[in-house]
Structure 1
């Protein structure tokens, strides 16, 4: 009930505040802080709580050396420093959430309605990333910074932030495909080059060990895999929504970030090709697409389209229904997120021992 009330309340905010832009921005700041605290200071909440705790325990020097030679060195470096300095494990959640929400903020402030963008991230991305898969959550936050650089047409900085994101979650490296388009040249030849560059990254993620690791980390059961298929399905529908109703008015009214919305919408639709192979791999990539999905949904009220009020409501209704069903029938959700606890309210002995 805590999560449902939070989601319904957040979804109502953009509508209750109407056209009061200044008030919306003030409420946005408070809301961002409250969601950060809700995410960062949770205790024994999230499906990956124990998994990351065991990573924290084994983050010794040999493990760090292996990580530096292999992948995701930034994540293991943080765990190693925490371990050697006797910083308790739950602080890893604070660090990851801080990275995630700073990135979200940098992308949100480029939106006409930052509050709507933020609240649309809550029921899927925030619950699943900084509140569970914290390593990928940090990667998503850094990718948001890269997307802001993409909008600003700064390809070098876009590349830097994507590389840093892959230091937390190697799958973020796939988004180096953005670089041919980050200068603002959105010619067909550039799009084809980006598509060609995407192939090696997708094959790397879907092959052998990578797929097995993805299943272990994000799913664990057949029920979770089914949930992944539903999340991928929502992304596919979101991409189709953009192409059917928003593409032309967006290009006319918001040319500065049209390339980002268009490219990511194509990626959303193409995720359907991954479902027969592995819905989990599609889900893994899909989390990186959700910030642009939220950007698309939050932009609808500002586009000159037929039935704009109905089109504005549809994403909120759809996400609310999906989240309600998930929280009501998912064993995965019941086991991972309930009850909600925060170490701000106590747990001193458990906190300093990690669990």
Structure 2
């Protein structure tokens, strides 16, 4: 377990010893320019995710893509589901890099998305530390296809918070090439960018229909049979949904104290309401796995809220180390509980670094 704790401790220490980024541009947003420390962070995250060996709950399942890629060419991608992930496998096979190549390419996309999103926040190291216990370790090292989709979606959310609707759509649709569930984020654009309720409803309806017909139609029956009819229980879904609901509730309670642009406030209010809605939907339904997978795209809310919270409840612009420490303690507890008591955590232990 020591490697996992080291992954967490380094950004946690940086979060405790650095001041928040109070400098903003004319539009109220922060520069996402990457300095050498953050480039190194991307490379380290990519290596940790890409060079893992026999780590993750679905480790063996992904080999069917790799073996299938030996008989495919890039021309075949148009006839395949999740063509983005197939493309990584075909590329890795042609380079002779095997599963390590696939995981490294995927890890790089995920890591860039995560770091770009963190850099857009006032306390990027705190956001990264909050991401380690679940988003990096569990999702990044376990749900490979959806991790890539989440990484791309985070860039999209950052773009949407800056009123770049087209960029948001492009990044989300790119994510959908790796896991179709990413299109579930598309309707958010309509709700977050207009004050006209009828226009919002129209945009959501059109976007949903387009997303279904272009990306989900062929696999809808399979998704329903897998996540709903099959009544597959996602172990720990309640806890993970609650982890999104807690920062959602904090944001809604303190949002007037968050230093945000109007567009950011509207977007993250919407994301908070979705997080609480997914949590409440857990109780009357048997769709825990479906809700759990949908909730993966809401995890950036955790990073957003906790990166702002010390300044919202403490002295703005100060280090507020006691508040930062409490947030880090919360995530350290999350990681301790998951590593020691989660039903499937044994698939992550021990962490092994090697080639596959």
What TM-score do you get using the length of structure 1 for normalisation?
0.80
Asked if the contact 1:106–1:145 (Cα under 8 Å) also holds between the matched residues in 2, the reply is yes
Tell whether 2:353 aligns with 1:342.
Answer: yes
Asked if the contact 2:187–2:204 (Cα under 8 Å) also holds between the matched residues in 1, the reply is yes
| 1:77 pairs with one of 87, 93, 100 | 87
Return the offset for 1:274: 3.5
| 1:39 pairs with one of 49, 65, 81 | 49
Return the offset for 1:87: 3.1
Tell whether 2:251 aligns with 1:242.
Answer: yes
Q: C-alpha deviations, 1:17-50, integer Å up to 9, x for none?
A: 356989x977555444433322222122112221
Tell whether 2:253 aligns with 1:257.
Answer: no
Distance in 1 of aligned mates of 2:257 and 2:11: 27
Cα distance, 1:104–1:186 mapped onto 2, change above 3 Å:
farther
1:167 paired residue number? 177
Tell whether 2:332 aligns with 1:325.
Answer: no
Which sections of structure 2, spanning at least 5 residues, go unmatched? 24-33
Cα distance, 1:194–1:14 mapped onto 2, change above 3 Å:
farther
Q: C-alpha deviations, 1:186-214, integer Å up to 9, x for none?
A: 45556555666787779x79975314545
Where in structure 2 are the equivalents of 1:145-294 lying within 5 Å? 145-181=155-191, 184-186=193-195, 188-189=197-198, 192=201, 209-213=222-226, 225-245=234-254, 247-250=255-258, 253-275=260-282, 276-294=285-303
Distance in 1 of aligned mates of 2:21 and 2:305: 21
Distance in 2 of aligned mates of 1:326 and 1:210: 27
Distance in 1 of aligned mates of 2:63 and 2:94: 15
Asked if the contact 2:16–2:321 (Cα under 8 Å) also holds between the matched residues in 1, the reply is no
Where in structure 2 are the equivalents of 1:125-140 lying within 5 Å? 125-140=135-150
Return the offset for 1:284: 0.6
Asked if the contact 1:4–1:324 (Cα under 8 Å) also holds between the matched residues in 2, the reply is no
1:300 paired residue number? 309
| 88-97 vs 299-308, greater mean Cα deviation | 299-308
Q: Secondary structure at the match of 1:239?
A: helix
Which sections of structure 1, spanning at least 5 residues, go unmatched? 344-350
Tell whether 2:19 aligns with 1:7.
Answer: no
Asked if the contact 1:151–1:256 (Cα under 8 Å) also holds between the matched residues in 2, the reply is yes
| 7-16 vs 265-274, greater mean Cα deviation | 7-16
Distance in 1 of aligned mates of 2:91 and 2:197: 46
Higher relative contact order at CA 8 Å, sep ≥6: structure 1 or structure 2?
2
Q: Secondary structure at the match of 2:98?
A: coil
Asked if the contact 1:25–1:114 (Cα under 8 Å) also holds between the matched residues in 2, the reply is no
Distance in 2 of aligned mates of 1:91 and 1:197: 38
Asked if the contact 1:124–1:323 (Cα under 8 Å) also holds between the matched residues in 2, the reply is yes
Distance in 2 of aligned mates of 1:324 and 1:186: 43
Cα distance, 1:208–1:39 mapped onto 2, change above 3 Å:
same
Count, aligned residues? 334
1:347 paired residue number? none
Cα distance, 1:190–1:264 mapped onto 2, change above 3 Å:
farther
Return the offset for 1:64: 7.4
Q: C-alpha deviations, 1:100-126, integer Å up to 9, x for none?
A: 111122222211121111111110011
Return the offset for 1:143: 0.5
What TM-score do you get using the length of structure 2 for normalisation?
0.80
Tell whether 2:152 aligns with 1:142.
Answer: yes
Asked if the contact 1:28–1:115 (Cα under 8 Å) also holds between the matched residues in 2, the reply is no
Distance in 2 of aligned mates of 1:29 and 1:317: 27
2:30 paired residue number? none
